[in-house]
Structure 1
Amino acid sequence: MTKIAMPCVVLSGGMGRRMGQLKQNLPICDSTLADFQAKHLKQVFINVYFSAKTRIVNAYGVPTILDDNKIESTTIFNPDFTAPIFGLRSALEALKCDIFILSIDAPFFDDAAIKVVFEAFNGNAIFAKNAKIHPLLGIYPFESLSQIKAQIAAKNYRLTHLLSAINAEFVEIPESKTRNLNRYTDYQNACVDLIN
């Protein structure tokens, strides 16, 4: 498969509250989840980036787009400020082009799933869908940045509202490929499945 020219941004800004630790540091397949995703995605995309509040350490030289907005950097903890919409804004502002988004905790979203998304892409926002929609598995056009900024200004951080506002389209992807690691039991099951 020829490498994809559109940049891939791995959203990694969550606090891992349900997991009990930062997800990027989870040991998986003899490395960390950050290294697992970096290794895989560098084989698929020409340019890969992490997006987070602090630099994501990895063995593959994948840089981090920092979300350094002064409002979100307040010393008073506010869970709203870890919402993925802030990472989307930072990535689109930094790269100034359409971007493929993947959540760091979605290790089963493989080459075949990525290919399905790109084959369906016609310039509009497009995301994986099965029993539910997956706003962190798909493509955000650069033009969606204005709506993202408007929602942040309105303190509306819901990605479902964003997808509706940008007239997102969806492509069917099997649930087995959109699994994410929200809780420690999800992580334990993933370790077994990725080894087998």
Structure 2
Amino acid sequence: MITIKTYLLSGGKSSRMGEDKGLKSLSGKPMISYLVDTLRQLDIIPVIIAHHPGYKSFGLTVIPDKIKDKGPLGGIYTALSHAWETVLIISADTPFVDSKAIEYLIRHHIADRINVLDYKGKIQPLCGLYPFQLLPKIESNLIANKLKMMDFVTENDANIVSIPFESNGFQNINTPEELSKAEYEISNNFKTV
């Protein structure tokens, strides 16, 4: 059993999708439920960071952002403020992150550093481990409105964990077009877990 506090970020505006992404139906079930199911395979019960009351239907702890409208960095701030320890962060708009990738990240992490996955040369800052001692730095960035995740990861000496195997998990679904593409891939035997 993996004992790491895990948070699913679903508190964004979903402006490109037009409605809350995590609750949007993807092949007959809410998008975020794919991640919830994957995490359950690892005996991880996540906390959802969201504002929409619909998330309460999952029977999980749902908390709002401590500081609204600060993007993913604000979500990480909320998670660390809630957990008071290192947290695993996954974005709700990447529903197909698989258990193998999560296990690999946890197995190859370096304590007290940001640890993020790299897949085929693309860093995934929203599938990562963030240590509690970063809380003051994150707070400073939020106050200064320095919200770019890649800048934050680069500036804080992240451990980049490269995945040596194939994964379908890093497809972001932010728009109706990307949702339609994901629906098509699922209906054509796209591996989702």
Q: TM-score range by the shorter chain?
A: 0.7 to 0.9
How does 1:4-153 map onto structure 2 within 5 Å? 4-57=2-55, 59-69=57-67, 72=68, 81-123=69-111, 124-130=113-119, 131-153=121-143
Task: List gaps (5 residues or longer) in structure 2.
Answer: none
Figure out how many residues of one structure are paired with residues of the other and give that number: 184
The change in CA–CA distance for 1:150 and 1:91 in structure 2 (over 3 A counts) is same
Provide the residue aligned with 1:194 in structure 2.
186
The farther-off stretch of 47-56 and 134-143 is: 47-56
2:147 corresponds to 1:157? yes
Provide the residue aligned with 1:183 in structure 2.
175
**Secondary structure of 2:22's aligned partner:** helix
Deviation at residue 101 of structure 1 after TM alignment: 0.6
The farther-off stretch of 52-61 and 127-136 is: 52-61
Task: List gaps (5 residues or longer) in structure 1.
Answer: 73-80
Provide the residue aligned with 1:76 in structure 2.
none
**2: CA distance between counterparts of 1:82 and 1:140?**
17
The farther-off stretch of 129-138 and 32-41 is: 32-41
**Secondary structure of 1:153's aligned partner:** helix
Deviation at residue 42 of structure 1 after TM alignment: 2.4
After TM superposition, the score normalised by the length of structure 1 is: 0.85
Deviation at residue 83 of structure 1 after TM alignment: 1.1
**1: CA distance between counterparts of 2:142 and 2:18?**
27
